[in-house]
Amino acid sequence: MPGGTATGTRTGTATVLTLTLGGQLEAIEKAEFDQKVVFENGRLTANADRATYVEAQGLLKLRPNPTEPRRRSTVNSGDFFVDSPDIDIDLNTENLLAVGDVKTSLVRKSASGAQSAAGGLFAGSEPIRGAAAKLDYRKDTGKATYTGAPKARALLQQGDTRIFANELVFEEAANRLKGTGDVDSSIPMTSIDEKGRSQVKMQQVRAETMSYDDASRRAVYEGKPVILTTADGVTEGPKMTFELAEDGKTLKRLLVEGGVFASRSDGHEFSGATLDYRMEDDLYILTGRSGTPARVKQPPQDPKAAAPVCDFTTGQKFEFSHRTGGFQNFGSGFETVPGACTESLRKPR
């Protein structure tokens, strides 16, 4: 629950209230609320079927009825809303643990008089929605850890941006995100086509891990392999780094390291040790390694021929401009030879 601290009188109401006293009427050790529980702690409001408040720990435990009818427990601080069957909240710190089909909604608010942050993975005032089997939120660090179930990954979503993983750790203040285990992200990014026109394309990336740092505007994915799928084609490699522009949603550069294969929907294929793609110029910089040169397969000039022929270009390092179709060589062994279009640059996995 970002921003502010819990202050003021704590107030709890319910249909039935049971008190455990420490010898005197005003010395309440524990309060048990049953049915239609409403608990207020400063700006924070909690609702549940049943609740237990432990005074010495400042701990409030929210639970559903053991039998039907039951309703889910909720905690609302105004900008952060948590909905789950079981919620434990430390009212002194507002640290929170929710378990069992957790749903959250975070509305980010800028400081008074300041503009909303433009750009970033999660930007603007549209709610950031989360889902998980478990949520561990630490207000002192602003860190929320979403943990999925064996057959249901954790999710963070804002608009068309969706990120699944077995575990997602989101630091709201710094706008940093880490995903671990079976990562599947779908992020719309603005790109430039071969005619210099900007357009929004969905970038779907599957990986083992991901990390996003808003300060550097970088998203790093690692896996065996990382697989990037867009309307333009598929790119694979052990490590991919996306560099974004200041608006946070325009791709500037894609760097693939550790061995790369890419195929475009227009028939081009790329392979090498590294691929450095510069969006502004629609430029591919391919680098090979010793004994394994970089290669580009170009689509056939006559795709309707009985046996289409494609050009295969090889070199240790060269640039290929998709916009012009031209090459610039920076190393030895550079050559272009024709070959059967049925040959692919993809290596067997």
Q: How confident is the model at residue 243 (pLDDT cuts 50, 70, 90)?
A: very high
Q: How confident is the model at residue 194 (pLDDT cuts 50, 70, 90)?
A: low
Least confident of 23-27, 143-147, 253-257: 23-27
Q: How confident is the model at residue 209 (pLDDT cuts 50, 70, 90)?
A: very high
Instruction: Report the predicted TM-score, pTM, of the whole model to 2 decimal places.
Output: 0.89
Per-residue pLDDT reduced to its tens digit, 99-113:
999 999 998 765 443
Least confident of 21-25, 92-96, 121-125: 21-25
CB–CB of 167/146 below 8 Å?
Answer: yes
Q: What is the pLDDT of residue 262?
A: 96
Instruction: Work out the mean pLDDT of the chain and round it to a whole number.
Output: 88
Per-residue pLDDT reduced to its tens digit, 24-76:
555 678 899 999 999 999 899 999 999 999 988 999 999 999 888 889 999 99
Say yes or no to pLDDT of 190 above 90: no
Say yes or no to pLDDT of 114 above 90: no
Q: What is the pLDDT of residue 24?
A: 56
Q: What is the pLDDT of residue 249?
A: 77
